[in-house]
Structure 1
Amino acid sequence: MTTQELEAPSGFSIVVDDVDAGQEPEPELEPEITAPETEEAATTASDNSTGANKEESDARIKQIQGEAESRKNEFAKLLEEHAQVIKELKQMEDDPPSGAVAGPTEA
């Protein structure tokens, strides 16, 4: 393992250890290819796994669409609440408080 020191301007030093030194990278695994016994068996196995994957994908897509619709509705509700708060604030700014004096009075 090697160590490298870096000097910081304010007199501090930072020590960085090389944790990968001396280790060989893991070999990449190549996918194993097996030949099917018959073409018909390969087609049936492929159709079954593709059908299951498609059903899982369709179910996941529907779930995501449902979540998106729910978030969209919640966002619309928050926007409406925000608009209502802004409207009330503007109304409060335009209307003076009930006990306040509008301006100087002459005696």
Structure 2
Amino acid sequence: MKKRTIKAVCAATAFTALAIGPLTTVVAEEVRVPVKSQAERSSQADLPRTGMSQSGVRDSWGNPLQITGPVGDPPISQWHYNDFVVYFEGDRVIHAVLKPRR
């Protein structure tokens, strides 16, 4: 009786592996960024700081090239400049990031 149970479990496991195997294929892309390159550029760049108002950003950096949003709740918007993007929650900066160099 034990031999039949073990054979049945092995057969079921093998069938499941064959049936599911092709469905679990994973494809990934590796992105390589030089260590510290973004951090070094960010520390050297003059970017808006967290908590600044939209009017403060506009006064210091001028009008953005493009505005995206607001989207969601809380409302998040993006202001795109030549070299960086500023993210706002409502009227306040939550993050500013450099655009990749081309």
| TM-score, scaled to structure 1 | 0.23
> Which structure: larger Rg?
1
* Relative contact order, higher structure (CA 8 A, sep 6+): 2
- Please identify which structure carries the higher helix content: 1
- Please identify which structure carries the higher strand content: 2
